[in-house]
Structure 1
Amino acid sequence: MTRRRVAIIGAGMAGASLAAELAATDDVLLLEAEAHPGFHATGRSAAFWSETYGGPLVQPLTSASGPFLHAPPADFASQGFLRTRGELLLARDRAVLAAMAAEFATSGVPIEWRDPHGVVEGLRGPWHALWSPGCADIDVGALHAAYLAQARRSGVALRCDARLTGGRRAGGQWRLETVTGEDVVADIVVNAAGAWADEVAVLLGAAPQGIRPYRRTVVQVRVDPPASPDLPLVMDAAGGFYFKPEPGGRLWLTPHDETPDRPHDVAAEEIDVALAIDRFEAAVDWRVEAVERRWAGLRSFAPDRLPVYGFDAWVPGFFWCAGQGGFGIQTAPAAARLCAALLGVGNVPQGVDAAVYSPHRLSE
């Protein structure tokens, strides 16, 4: 069987995981615009795995990724990438949580009502809560490194500082141009460029899918009283904030912002840092003593907020692997297997409907 040449644009979690899946059957080249992989969304993740996060249409990918993340094959990693923490979903309005519970009623995701004041001390005022016991921290750096290592062992070539500048398809093949001057020939191009996905599409003659980047801010804060290491992920189901504990009594805190932005090396803005602290101190009777770190990342969404996985409707040999929003890390194993299956390698993960994520839905 003739091995195909597959060029994957972007070596973040999406590109690295797919490269590892394809390497046994295809000659794969990873083209990364930055000096090292994972510089943008992958390296700035809030690092948790939650089956409720992203909604019921994303949940099948998250759930299908769980077994791999908990217990990867021995030849991939020596230990799992998850540490169970639990998730407390809060709302002032009980109806918000009731609607969420109904959405996941037939999913198999364990969710139960819980008194939030018995879980988080110092909550201000009345809150209702759902408890999701399976939520876990993800070791994002270790997972990304493991995918890159697996890809490298299987013969995948990685080119960093190799931003795509153009390309064309002729005679059934792609000829890609990068800032390095290297002439890349490929049978298939995979667009795993994150916030730059639509820009890559336009460069290669495909119609943009309306994938828009949004800024998300995270701060590490020192609080009084210090946060217990056993605190769960605490999330406002109405989208106002979430926080999780870090070593030394610190918290990672976000105002759950989604500010439309452009593809670039995004940074936290003071107004969003202030908003995070204001919402936090309105929810709990704790005081923020210091902001020790602040950063921002870009979450990229298609118009319907679902990932885009599959061959382009109009441009042959152009494959989409983009629009993962804020759940690209937690769904990476299943998403990589799904994309590999759509590329003719392996099977679609059980319980996942590939048609839900097809780019054709955005082109009709």
Structure 2
Amino acid sequence: MANGLYDFAIVGAGMAGASLAAELAPYAKVLVLEGEDTPGYHSTGRSAAFWEECYGGPGVVPLTLASGNYLRDNGFLRQRGALYIGREEDRAAMDGFVDEFAGTGVTIERLKASALATRVPQIKPEWNDAIWEPACADIDVAGLHQHYLSKGKQAGVDLSCRAMVVGLDREDGGWRITCRDGSTYRAARVVNAAGAWADDIARWAGAQALGIEPKRRTVAQLRVDPVAPDDLPLVLDVSGGFYFKSDNGRLWLSPHDEIPSVPCDAAPEEIDVARAIDRFENVTNWRILAVERRWAGLRSFAPDRLPVYGPDPIVPGFDWFAGQGGFGIQTAPAAARVGAQILLGHGPDTLTRGVDTSNYAPARFSDRKARVTG
């Protein structure tokens, strides 16, 4: 089907594009265009992902919960548990967190200080309040991404790498897509799964940018004394200042940063690593022996921090599958199924029955844009 007419051309082969292509392929002719040499080079390939029911807020919970069984049943999760921690001055934030997720279906419970110290043996005593989330698990990100790439390939998806899109032109009721290397493709519909580049792709299509903003997230791998236990939970500051977890005797630490960035090949900044270490040393008694690795990736957010799935409200044949922030991997199964159902006109199934797709429609930004431009 190379260079022929496709039903859908998806821009981006990260987790978003790969998963959506796999869900569409049984029903349509699908092309995936990836600008890099390999799929998942940017955010997907740099994720320290975990399946964490509260991550992304109550608006993302339905997608997360709907994805859980798929991830577990296919062997992509390893149980860990998560702790949101705070001090006396964080009491209001802890209470607010519990109230925020009441009635959403997540499982959380308040822990006493003694239980916190047992789960995090090097915790400093002033960090004496905790919320326990037992269902949190590590995600095999590479395995999940390859799963969708393989599933798509078996269903007939054509994947073209080194295919940086530089032109989208309407032609005969569809699209002529031009790539930087001069190659061209034709498709009835274009799906924007370009992550940090989503607004740029929208402009190529003549659509209005939705204000999807890339933000840099930094992670450092630490060697510590004593060695971090393998059963250490994911530990998060309830006020959003840090998180850390163990990995094969090392610790992965992030300052939980969200630094606005242009779309790029993100690199860690020394100041962000230093900030993370300073916060970590104020929380635990672990002695840092070395910073062994550091990396950064871009997470892209719509203005309301919810994902954007479905047809553009103005440009026919142009669809969105973007703005998935830091939760795009943990919600991939439900998000891809929802996205495919919207694009194909299919109704919900057992996986997506509890998801209200109207919450994620691109048209929700139409009134905001009219007010800004009017």
Deviates more, 1:60-69 or 1:341-350: 341-350
What SS does the aligned partner of 1:299 have?
A: strand
- Matched-pair identity in %: 58
Provide, for residues 80-127 of structure 1, a one-character-per-residue CA deviation record: whole Å limited to 9, x for no partner.
100010000112212212111112111221100113223211222143
Provide, for residues 30-53 of structure 1, a one-character-per-residue CA deviation record: whole Å limited to 9, x for no partner.
000000000000001112100110
Deviates more, 1:83-92 or 1:121-130: 121-130
- Partners of 1:337 and 1:347 within 8 A in 2: no
> CA separation in 2, counterparts of 1:40 and 1:61?
23
Superposed, 1:78-89 pairs within 5 Å as 80-89=75-84
> CA separation in 1, counterparts of 2:185 and 2:253?
42
**Aligned-pair distance for 1:191?**
0.1
> CA separation in 2, counterparts of 1:185 and 1:134?
44
Provide, for residues 203-234 of structure 1, a one-character-per-residue CA deviation record: whole Å limited to 9, x for no partner.
11110000010100000000111100000000
Match of residue 291 from structure 1 = 291
- The aligned amino acid for 2:328 is G
1:344 aligns with 2:344: yes
> CA separation in 1, counterparts of 2:235 and 2:353?
30
- Partners of 1:214 and 1:300 within 8 A in 2: yes
Structure 1 outlier segments of 4+, above 2 Å: 345-348
Task: Give the one of 2, 5, 13 matched to 2:7.
Answer: 5
Task: Give the one of 7, 14, 23 matched to 2:16.
Answer: 14
> CA separation in 2, counterparts of 1:82 and 1:347?
28
- The aligned amino acid for 2:19 is S
**Aligned-pair distance for 1:237?**
1.3
> CA separation in 1, counterparts of 2:177 and 2:62?
35
- The aligned amino acid for 1:350 is R
- The aligned amino acid for 1:31 is L
> CA separation in 1, counterparts of 2:298 and 2:20?
21
1:357 aligns with 2:349: no
> CA separation in 2, counterparts of 1:11 and 1:4?
16
- The aligned amino acid for 1:320 is W
- Partners of 2:6 and 2:31 within 8 A in 1: no
- The aligned amino acid for 2:82 is E
The TM-score with structure 1 as length reference comes to 0.95
> CA separation in 2, counterparts of 1:335 and 1:197?
17
**Aligned-pair distance for 1:296?**
0.1
What SS does the aligned partner of 1:363 have?
A: helix
> CA separation in 2, counterparts of 1:345 and 1:49?
29
> CA separation in 2, counterparts of 1:126 and 1:28?
51
Superposed, 1:258-337 pairs within 5 Å as 258-337=258-337
TM-align CA RMSD = 1.1
> CA separation in 1, counterparts of 2:152 and 2:122?
47
> CA separation in 2, counterparts of 1:167 and 1:250?
46
- The aligned amino acid for 2:92 is A
Deviates more, 1:177-186 or 1:295-304: 177-186
Provide, for residues 135-170 of structure 1, a one-character-per-residue CA deviation record: whole Å limited to 9, x for no partner.
000000000001000100111000000000111113
Which 5+ residue runs of structure 2 have no aligned equivalent?
368-374
What SS does the aligned partner of 1:360 have?
A: helix
What SS does the aligned partner of 1:63 have?
A: helix
Superposed, 1:56-95 pairs within 5 Å as 56-72=58-74, 80-92=75-87, 93-95=90-92
- The aligned amino acid for 1:261 is S
**Aligned-pair distance for 1:10?**
0.1
Match of residue 165 from structure 1 = 166
> CA separation in 2, counterparts of 1:150 and 1:325?
24
**Aligned-pair distance for 1:4?**
5.9
What SS does the aligned partner of 2:344 have?
A: coil
- Partners of 2:85 and 2:127 within 8 A in 1: no
Task: Give the one of 104, 107, 112 matched to 2:101.
Answer: 104
Deviates more, 1:55-64 or 1:92-101: 92-101
- The aligned amino acid for 1:335 is A
Which 5+ residue runs of structure 1 have no aligned equivalent?
73-79
Task: Give the one of 41, 44, 63 matched to 1:42.
Answer: 44
Task: Give the one of 22, 25, 28 matched to 1:26.
Answer: 28
Match of residue 75 from structure 1 = none
> CA separation in 1, counterparts of 2:144 and 2:51?
13
> CA separation in 1, counterparts of 2:180 and 2:199?
19
The TM-score with structure 2 as length reference comes to 0.93
